[in-house]
Structure 1
Amino acid sequence: MKEQTHLKRYDLHTHTQASDGMQPPADNVRWAKEKGLVGVAITDHDTVAGLEEALEEGRRTGITVIPGVEISTRTSGKDIHILGYYMDYHNKEFLKRLEKLRQARDTRNDLILSRLRSLGVDITLEEVVATMGRPLAPDESIGRPHMADTLVQKGYAKDMRDAFDRYLAEGAPGYVSVPRVEPAEAISWIREAGGVPVVAHPGLYGDDGLVRSIIEQAKPAGLEVRHSDHDAATEKRYAAMAAHYGLIATGGSDFHGARQGVIFHGDLGSRSVNDQVVEDLRKAAAEQK
């Protein structure tokens, strides 16, 4: 599918330093403006810690900032990510649930580092945090990209992709999975907080039958059709799937910033949607209230 050229473009999937992105939330907003976007969603992993800073910068620059989150779930032996938009990010129950997910992430990180050490790869959590160049703030979390960065800096991998392929990707020797909530539970959490749940980057799961099963059983409101790791044929396939199930077809870059000169997954604004998609998300959120 060709990049949408509608005047009003939004990137609905970006990460910041609040999870495993490289930039402060305000930088994502400023960069969105520089790239000619009118809006950007902040969708950090299992945290909403970056939203206030981004919203303040949005007010200052005139960029629409869409409150979001990306929740880590697991089903049928696969990690599945669920995006949420326009939820009440002050909702106490929602925040408690996200905190539990971050605790699971912390446990996973300890297990990954232990497994790496058993492989003769000696990196510590303190070194990973030091690689960030700043203290870890409350409600922020360490992710595999942080570890990959440290692996490269210590000479265990030649670049970020090599670090994942060699140690951290699913199926690699250092990969560890911990118990997570099911997609349906995360979707319920987002709805209960007044938000709109969307299945993220379905093409990364390599199992369209599973994607359809999640849609049919968990009833998300949307499917992320446009994504930096989806080629044109993949986007066309998921656009058809979204239309079949009556879902909002969303999209975004999954921007994390650049590590070791490599941008994962795509540059901010490299995938976008127009204002009709955002209006559909707003309407769906209003129906949750």
Structure 2
Amino acid sequence: MYVKGDFHIHSTESDGELNPEEIILLAKERNVDIIALTDHNTVAGNEQAIELGQIHGVKVIPGIELSTRFNGVKVHILGYFTDDSYKSHEFKITLNNIKEKRFINCGKYFKGKLLFSSEGRKITTRAGIEFLHYYNAKVILAHPTLLTREVFRSLMNLEFDGIEAKYIRNKEGDTEYFINVSKEKGIIYTAGSDFHFIRRLDLKHGTLGEIYLDKDEIKDFLSILV
């Protein structure tokens, strides 16, 4: 049984400071026995992290943090993959087309209704959820505390599988509020440090394992990944 889980971590594959191996070793050192690697708009580090995690006794959930737009507002969504679909050529090609704004090419492998905002030519949150669901990921709203309550409530009308209720920048009462919303909607909640840096001061993000799910919460989270 896993006892401590941090499900929002960045590596050198996006804008983090540590490579996947260093992240695994740091998690081991801090008694974090289950993590998710959620680099921005890429899954490049997941296979290495999973392999190294098996060696060092740290379970790795393959993940991603996708940048989207909701009525002009920046919204990040976390995807946790339930199988190996993220390894497929089709997924990687479509993800790259989204990153490069080649939206007309996305329909080759993804048959959903990809919708894009007119502001900044970014994938909409609804389309991002649909895209990740199509490739067998469970989708979580990242750091809702950074959004206004009005935007958050509107986002809750979308097909999210969960909320990142425990987050390093939560204000007083936020964690309880988001947990209650998740229970009311019958979806799960997660925890994430949003780890980026360890060797220099980082006022925007937490350090690995600082925010976490305990063993009972981890059990609930894992129940949706089967």
| TM-score w.r.t. length of structure 2 | 0.85
Does residue 18 of the first structure (1) align with residue 3 of the second (2)?
no
Name which of 77, 90, 93 aligns with 2:90. Answer: 93
What secondary structure sits across from 1:285 in the alignment? coil
Name which of 143, 147, 156 aligns with 1:215. Answer: 156
Matches within 5 A, 1:1-289: 8-87=3-82, 88-104=85-101, 178-205=120-147, 207-216=148-157, 218-258=158-198, 260-262=200-202, 264-286=204-226
Q: Is the 8 A contact 1:58 1:65 kept in 2?
A: yes
Shift of 1:191: 1.2
Aligned partner letter, 2:149? D
- Structure showing greater Rg: 1
Change in CA separation of 1:181 and 1:27 when aligned onto 2, cut-off 3 Å:
same
What secondary structure sits across from 1:93 in the alignment? helix
Shift of 1:275: 3.5
Shift of 1:211: 1.6
The CA RMSD over aligned residues, in Å, is: 1.9
Shift of 1:282: 3.4
1:79-112 CA deviation, whole Å, 9 max, x = no partner? 00010112421133322232123325xxxxxxxx
Shift of 1:259: 6.2
| TM-score w.r.t. length of structure 1 | 0.67
What secondary structure sits across from 1:49 in the alignment? coil
Q: Is the 8 A contact 1:194 1:285 kept in 2?
A: no
What secondary structure sits across from 2:7 in the alignment? strand
Aligned partner letter, 1:97? T
Shift of 1:7: 7.1
Equivalenced residues, count: 207
Runs of 4+ in 1 over 4 A off after TM superposition: none
Q: Which runs of 5+ in 2 are unaligned?
A: 102-118
Q: Which runs of 5+ in 1 are unaligned?
A: 1-5, 105-176
Identity, % of aligned positions: 31
Shift of 1:264: 4.1
Q: Which has the higher helix share?
A: 1
